[in-house]
């Protein structure tokens, strides 16, 4: 992308997916958390978080893989991670269910595990996943939500009092 000056791919890559499973996972996550975030942030705020997380996830991926001409990152995982982490700021104790396991875990614990798995995946190059996009999108979702709604920090803390 950088070598050919195709910076637009930082965003357009979010509209492509490696396979149907990748697309379904992102869309299912967006289905469950997107509407809630849009209500909390408003339509414009939601789009800022979504596209900001997509862009930051893509940029972080580019930084880590800039010298690997064979690496191709696609998918909306960074954007979806941003939406998910925005939700977690407002609802840290809500239960998140993984796949079809009937036992939910608090969203804040899910977030810690998600970040740890992303960092570990980056270090070990585990799987064919965009761990950098996941991490970058999650961080961007937190930061952008706090910029748009600074009271989200207070709301998060109040859940633990």
Is it the case that residue 105 has pLDDT exceeding 70?
yes
pLDDT in tens, 111-139: 999 999 889 987 887 766 677 888 999 99
- If one compares 22 and 152, the residue with the highest pLDDT of the two is 152
Instruction: Output the pLDDT for position 46.
Output: 97
| pLDDT at position 139 | 96
User: Which tens digit of pLDDT belongs to each residue from 1-41?
Assistant: 555 666 666 676 666 667 788 888 889 999 999 999 999 99
In this prediction, residue 133 carries a pLDDT of: 86
Q: What angle do CA 83, 85, 90 make, to 5 degrees?
A: 100
Return the CATH fold of 9-158: Rhomboid-like fold (1.20.1540)
Residue-wise pLDDT for 43-93, tens only, equals 999 999 999 999 998 888 787 667 676 666 666 888 999 999 999 999 999
pLDDT at residue 33, rounded to an integer: 96
- Higher-confidence residue of 110 and 6: namely 110
Say what the pTM is: 0.87
pLDDT of residue 22: 80
């Amino acid at each position: 992308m950088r070598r050919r000056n195709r910076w637009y791919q930082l965003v357009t890559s979010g509209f492509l997916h490696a396979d149907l499973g990748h697309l379904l996972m992102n869309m299912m996550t967006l289905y469950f958390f997107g509407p809630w975030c849009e209500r909390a942030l408003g339509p414009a705020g939601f789009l800022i978080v979504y596209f900001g997380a997509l862009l930051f996830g893509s940029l972080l991926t580019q930084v880590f893989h800039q010298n690997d001409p064979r690496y191709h990152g696609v998918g909306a995982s960074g954007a979806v991670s941003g939406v998910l982490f925005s939700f977690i700021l407002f609802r840290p104790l809500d239960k998140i269910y993984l796949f079809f396991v009937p036992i939910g875990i608090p969203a804040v614990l899910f977030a810690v595990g998600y970040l740890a798995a992303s960092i570990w995946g980056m270090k070990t190059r585990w799987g064919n996943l965009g761990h950098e996009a996941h991490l970058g999108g999650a961080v961007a979702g937190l930061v952008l939500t706090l910029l748009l709604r600074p009271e989200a920090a207070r709301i998060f803390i109040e859940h633990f009092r």
